[in-house]
Amino acid sequence: MICLEKKHSKKEVEEALGYAEEFGWKVEVGGGHAWGKIYCPYNEKECRCGEFCISSIWSTPKNAGNYAKQIKRVVDNCTIRNNDSEA
Amino acid sequence: MKEFEFTLKFSFPDADQDPDEYVDALGEAGCDDAIIGIRQKGRVAFQFTREASDAFSAVTSAIQDVKSAIPHAKLIESTPDLVGLTDIANLMGVSRQYLRKLETTKMNFPQPVHSGKTAIWHLFSFLQWYEESLKKPVNLSIKEIASANMQINIAKEWAQLDHNTQSKMSSLGL
């Protein structure tokens, strides 16, 4: 179980980060102005989603609702492609 | 104003640069409507949800914002544009088998940009055909963004030609 030291101040974003964690993503707080980073669990192995395996998370995204959807999409794209590669 | 979803991929020469440095600059440049992927060294990807009057303005303003933060960044591609059948199926929420059936049974199915072991289309060509030939609805915002991306990606490739080749190619009437 991963414990967040700090919650994201935007409710929708915090919820999306929880969604990422459900799929095994690591959520890391800190580093620069951005709020933190998320790491794909298949990172370094045979993940094919590539670019977004490590994504930077804004503390104040322009639109929190959209941003939450974007985070979920990154997670979903990853799981879809991993399922594909297993098929 | 409408919202457009698209992904830009850039490369930049200084692969060893700490991503945190340019991520800050990107936030200040107005890329706070994008989630930024920093997995690949020397590359950075942006999944934008951008408000703009039209798709072309959405993509070009996003490119400008990235370039103002990382001047040496080179656009690799703006997506979605070049797609295989699996990509189209995922984008449209239909099965790949259905698209494969259309491809093999419909005489006027769009010609791919590349055919071989895998075939690749411009998404816009497919969506236009799907809408006009099959009289089926397509997501207008995806169609608009696919059209803008196709033009931007072609322009980017075209800019790589030397002037002599550009003028020769123009006269071929492709």
**Mean pLDDT, residues B42-54 taken together:** 95
What confidence score (pLDDT) does residue B39 get?
Answer: 85
Higher pLDDT, B114 or B39: B114
Best mutation site among A39, A62, A77 for testing chain B: the one with the most B CBs within 10 Å? A62
DSSP 8-state code for residue A3:
-
How far is it, in rounded angstroms, from Cα B118 to Cα A41? 29
How far A2 CA lies from chain B's nearest CA (Å)?
21
Residues of B in contact with A26 (CB under 8 A): none
**pLDDT tens digit string along A61-83?**
999 999 999 999 999 888 655 55
> Is A62 near chain B, with CB under 8 Å?
yes
Best mutation site among B6, B24, B39 for testing chain A: the one with the most A CBs within 10 Å? B39
How far is it, in rounded angstroms, from Cα A53 to Cα B38? 8
Nearest CA in chain A to B45: A51
What confidence score (pLDDT) does residue A77 get?
Answer: 84
Q: Which residue has the tokens 């964690």?
A: A21
Nearest CA in chain B to A66: B49
**pLDDT tens digit string along A26-47?**
999 987 778 999 998 876 555 6
**Mean pLDDT, residues B30-39 taken together:** 94
**Mean pLDDT, residues B52-72 taken together:** 96
What confidence score (pLDDT) does residue A46 get?
Answer: 56
Residues 6+ apart with CB under 8 A from A49: A40, A74, A77, A78, A81, A82
What confidence score (pLDDT) does residue B97 get?
Answer: 97
Query: B43 in helix, strand or coil?
Result: strand
How far is it, in rounded angstroms, from Cα B4 to Cα B150? 15
pTM of the model: 0.90
Residues of B in contact with A63 (CB under 8 A): 33, 49
Give the dihedral sign, CA B103/B107/B110/B115: positive
Q: Do A58 and B37 touch (CB under 8 A)?
A: no
How far A84 CA lies from chain B's nearest CA (Å)?
10
**Phi/psi zone of residue A60: left (φ > 0), alpha (ψ -120 to 50 degrees), beta?**
beta
What confidence score (pLDDT) does residue B35 get?
Answer: 97
Higher pLDDT, A71 or A85: A71
**pLDDT tens digit string along B78-124?**
999 999 999 999 999 999 999 999 999 999 999 999 999 999 999 99
**Mean pLDDT, residues B19-41 taken together:** 90
Residues of A in contact with B38 (CB under 8 A): 37, 54-56
Q: Is the pLDDT of residue A84 over 70?
A: no
